Structure 1
């Protein structure tokens, strides 16, 4: 069992390092190409931090481990909201822009509901995957048009955001970082999956539980690092946008690709519990941001407590 645990820890370490290196290279490319604040913040930061989840879930689908593929996405989204947003809000209250609230917050609730409807308590198939990927394309088009409209009326918002790792980089660094980050992610996903599946068998818990907890938190470390550093640097818009963008990409992009490769049947516990926790998290974020236009320290503490309760229920009520 200890060897399996070491494999999990090593896999998480490789994923974290690979994610950080890849994001650094992507941000360097964004600055070199003079990409707008929209594409840098939304696509590079928000979607870039989801690359560990993408690699792990796709890898799990390919080797016929759907419980980990689904659990990784649902668990990561739950951890992103309750654990990461909660922690960041405790460090510093998190305000939100009206556009981020009306677009990204509402989209988060709508997409969570869409996944539940498409799965129908049974499975996500190839047609569902196509619908989710079409939704991702539609969201990106919507985000681009709305941000262009905002930039036209407020030229200052087009400035490149000060996000962690956003420095001017050479072409050699960009190429090496991008390729090296991808290789580290692939290696990390294989090591993590090998250890996680074996650990689930050793502990007598389901692969879904391991995916929802250990794998999910491990693959969310890039989001945690970027959002926490951004919060400390007072770039709270980046912290909130990173989580909202990552969650949307997890559901639309990662589940879309994974279900295209392999049908993803929903374990019983996800049908009766986790998918509703996921929806509740999206609704809670929208409600709290809508009522106060920010996430306060008290609300952040409530999120952290809710995550502790979620973990308790996961291991006490639904261990298998």
Structure 2
């Protein structure tokens, strides 16, 4: 038990360090390739930091099939959008409020509303299809649905690349080349890939730990992975966004999370639909419904006064607290 807990803590520490390396590298890559802030945050950063929680269900479903691997895998797949919409988004709102009190700066969340709305609309549509329309009894239709979701993400990337957005600012320095004011883009790529490799290793260790801990406490592997696994694997989005908010890069901060929501509702979900029974019911379905409601709340808030958005974003945490309560009481 102690070893399993140490593995979880070690994984969290690794992710925190990797997040700082990754944000630094991604900013440099986005600037050098002349990508917009929206594309850099919603696609490059979001896909990169989404890899740990995407790798986790793949490892669990394929390599741990005899040890509740499918339940852990489905829990991780469903948990990612749930955590992003009920913890990561609220954390951005709370960080803006904290920035206001610490730096006495602007209370507004200065984001590009068009990009955010595009992300949330894609998320709401894709995740609704995954939860309510998948014919899990008929395999060929499951494959078709998975292919449709994959195609939907390709369309999303295309529209994000073509959409209007502000250009990336040049980073102050690259950690892998601190004394070089203009490092080669390959160094930034190596730094970003190095950070991702560390995240993937941490995800693999996490699967071992979560399986043993859930068994020891008598929790359902599916519910336990829904509540705990994404907290660790979603840390990249959370930490990256906190860092960007404090640096006044709100578009990158929000895009990193909203873009990950689109990715998580299409790519990992497609894998789960094909390689598991994908019969979502009970509290697992409730988590999906909460994620959709929280996402819709973000979409509505994007149309209100910018000074109210940080408060509104923070409200999403109510859904996580409610779900935690429902899960705990259901086990009593």
**Same fold flag (TM > 0.5):** yes
Cross-structure match for 2:41: 41
Contact 1:9-1:192 within 8 A present in 2 as well: no
Shift of 1:33: 3.4
Q: Evaluate the alpha carbon distance shift between residue 292 and residue 313 of structure 1 in structure 2; reply closer, same or farther with a 3 A threshold.
A: farther
* Partner Cα separation in structure 1 for residue 59 and residue 245 of structure 2: 32
Cross-structure match for 1:9: 9
Shift of 1:175: 5.2
Contact 1:17-1:184 within 8 A present in 2 as well: no
TM-score when normalising by structure 1: 0.83
Q: Evaluate the alpha carbon distance shift between residue 304 and residue 271 of structure 1 in structure 2; reply closer, same or farther with a 3 A threshold.
A: closer
Cross-structure match for 2:150: 133
TM-score when normalising by structure 2: 0.80
Three-state SS of the structure 2 residue aligned to 1:34 is coil
The answer to whether structure 1 residue 105 and structure 2 residue 109 are counterparts is no
Cross-structure match for 1:263: 276
Q: Evaluate the alpha carbon distance shift between residue 114 and residue 200 of structure 1 in structure 2; reply closer, same or farther with a 3 A threshold.
A: same
* Partner Cα separation in structure 1 for residue 267 and residue 147 of structure 2: 10
Contact 2:18-2:198 within 8 A present in 1 as well: yes
* Partner Cα separation in structure 1 for residue 91 and residue 197 of structure 2: 30
Which of 261, 286, 294 is matched with 1:247 structurally?
A: 261
Q: Evaluate the alpha carbon distance shift between residue 99 and residue 175 of structure 1 in structure 2; reply closer, same or farther with a 3 A threshold.
A: closer
Q: Evaluate the alpha carbon distance shift between residue 182 and residue 310 of structure 1 in structure 2; reply closer, same or farther with a 3 A threshold.
A: same
* Partner Cα separation in structure 2 for residue 24 and residue 194 of structure 1: 30
Three-state SS of the structure 1 residue aligned to 2:316 is helix
Three-state SS of the structure 2 residue aligned to 1:244 is helix
- Structure 2: gaps of 5 or more residues: 97-107, 176-181
Shift of 1:113: 1.1
Contact 1:54-1:254 within 8 A present in 2 as well: yes
Cross-structure match for 1:56: 56
Question: Could you tell which deviates more after superposition, 14-23 or 100-109?
Answer: 14-23
Shift of 1:257: 3.7
Cross-structure match for 1:77: 81
